[in-house]
């Protein structure tokens, strides 16, 4: 069956073949439950330059980027906008809306016309009320995901997370920081929540990876300033 999203944005646009029902968060659902997820998901087209969400808004969306690209940016205390990452079609954002009452630490701005497929918190709660097993399975999948991330941070996979985190920090420092005799300097604050958003892991994992980077001598912290060696 052709993805419902294909009819939303036109035949001349590249669209990911990944369907929202194929995401890890919906693993092990029954066929009829996957169909319910696909049919209930909200598709929305954003124009180039439009915000998908803004820094400080309540985090009440989870969605798959079906087409287009968005930049993730942060406004510093000095009022400067800093682009931290670019997300493309096939990327999934926002699953933390199901586990924590958070605000978005960043803004997502469309770099081109963009199609999202997903749920608001209210919309997802509605489908769970109609299909109770969906909610139970999603909780199981979230728990397995968190357990997996936590265990990997405590094992050999910690080095891979360290590398990913270090790469993100280096990219931010090279583009938006300064370089001196100490190393690359990030002079604006980045919370573990924000770093987890960029790296794609839970902030608990970021805390452990940051500790490991400091112990290895790759990262130093002076107050709110990060120094990458």
The predicted-structure confidence for 37-59, as pLDDT tens digits, reads as follows: 999 999 999 999 999 999 999 99
Torsion angle of the four alpha carbons 124, 129, 130, 134, in this order, in degrees rounded to the nearest 10:
60
Single pTM value for the model: 0.72
Is there a single domain that holds both residue 170 and residue 220?
A: yes
Is there a single domain that holds both residue 125 and residue 178?
A: no
Is there a single domain that holds both residue 119 and residue 145?
A: yes
Q: Is residue 55 part of a domain?
A: yes
The phi, psi pair for 5, rounded to 5°, reads -65, -25
pLDDT for 150 equals 58
Is there a single domain that holds both residue 133 and residue 162?
A: no
Q: Give dist(CA 229, CA 224) in Å, integer.
A: 16
Radius of gyration of the chain, Cα coordinates, nearest whole angstrom: 19
Which residue stretches of 6-114 are H helix? 6-9, 31-40
Q: How confident is the model at residue 99 (pLDDT cuts 50, 70, 90)?
A: confident
Average confidence (pLDDT) over 53-79 = 90
pLDDT for 151 equals 57
- How crowded is residue 127: how many other Cβ atoms within 10 Å of its Cβ? 17
* E-assigned strand segments in 42-127: 42-46, 51-53, 61-67, 69-75, 81-88, 92-93, 107-110, 114-120
Q: Cα 73 from chain centroid? A: 12
User: Domain range spanning residue 201?
Assistant: 156-228
150 or 36, higher pLDDT: 36
Q: Is residue 1 part of a domain?
A: no
Number of domains in the chain: 2
The predicted-structure confidence for 110-136, as pLDDT tens digits, reads as follows: 999 999 999 999 999 999 999 999 999
């Amino acid at each position: 069956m052709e993805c419902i999203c294909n009819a939303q944005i036109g035949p001349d646009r590249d669209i990911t073949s990944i369907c929202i029902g194929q995401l890890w968060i919906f693993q092990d659902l029954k066929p009829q439950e996957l169909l319910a997820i696909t049919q209930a998901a909200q598709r929305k087209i954003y124009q180039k330059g439009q915000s998908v969400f803004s820094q400080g808004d309540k985090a009440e969306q989870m969605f798959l980027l079906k087409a287009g690209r968005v930049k993730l940016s942060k406004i510093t205390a000095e009022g400067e906008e800093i682009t931290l990452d670019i997300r493309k079609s096939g990327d999934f954002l926002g699953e933390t809306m199901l586990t924590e009452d958070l605000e978005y630490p960043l803004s997502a701005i469309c770099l081109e016309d963009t199609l999202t497929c997903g749920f608001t918190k209210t919309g997802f709660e509605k489908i769970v009320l109609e299909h109770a097993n969906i909610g139970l399975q999603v909780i199981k999948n979230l728990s397995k995901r968190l357990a997996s991330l936590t265990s990997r941070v405590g094992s050999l996979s910690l080095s891979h997370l360290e590398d990913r985190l270090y790469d993100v920090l280096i990219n931010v420092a090279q583009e938006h920081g300064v370089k001196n005799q100490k190393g690359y300097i990030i002079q604006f604050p980045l919370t573990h929540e924000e770093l987890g958003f960029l790296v794609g892991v839970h902030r608990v994992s970021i805390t452990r990876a940051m500790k490991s980077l400091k112990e290895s001598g790759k990262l130093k912290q002076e107050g709110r300033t990060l120094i990458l060696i």
